[in-house]
Copies of this chain bind each other. A is one copy, B any other.
Amino acid sequence: MAGAVEKKISELGITLPTPAAPIATYVGFVRSGSLLFVSGQLCLEDGKLTATGQLGGSVSIEQGQAAARTCAINLVAQVKAALGDLDQVVRVVRLNGFINSAPGFADAPKVMNGASDLIVAMFGDKGRHSRSTVGVAALPNDAAVEIDGIFEVA
């Protein structure tokens, strides 16, 4: 039986993917005490990047926001894989947003809001997180957005 958070996710019309195993020696998440550290997630959907290239270049803010939203879905899919039940999330502690950016691109926070807004829609007040957002020169496979996170768990 789905918990409250998963019911909310379903109401949002979102199906959590099965997280792809990293093709390397690292892992998707590590729990240490009450903190769950989730690896950086790209804007992957069905194994394909939904947006590649730079904000302030070929990628529009709207496309970037959608990409950030996809990263957030992949973060939550990792949390689900770690915990089984998303109601075990006590608080979304931190999101770090890395936006593939042309020099001088100033609107990274607008892009990152695509992730922040979805996380709060999913988790309610428990989803209100601290965050840092920066514009980076390059990302894996030229993804437009990468986001990692720290979650407090029961």
Contact = CB atoms under 8 A, between A and B. Distances in A.
A34 interface: yes
A93 B37 contact: yes
A28 B137 contact: no
B139 A136 contact: no
A3 interface: no
Nearest to A113: B24
Interface in A8-57: 24-30, 32-35, 37-40, 53-54, 56
B132 A25 contact: no
Given A129-B26, A132-B146, A135-B139, A35 B32 contact: yes
Contacts of A99: 138
Nearest to A39: B130
Given A106-B140, A139-B135, A130 B25 contact: no
Nearest to A103: B137
A32 B152 CA distance: 7
A61 interface: no
A90 to B, nearest CB: 8
25 contacts: A30-B130, A32-B93, A32-B150, A33-B34, A33-B35, A37-B93, A37-B150, A39-B130, A39-B131, A40-B134, A54-B103, A54-B104, A98-B132, A104-B138, A104-B142, A105-B138, A106-B138, A106-B141, A107-B140, A108-B138, A108-B139, A109-B140, A135-B139, A136-B136, A137-B137
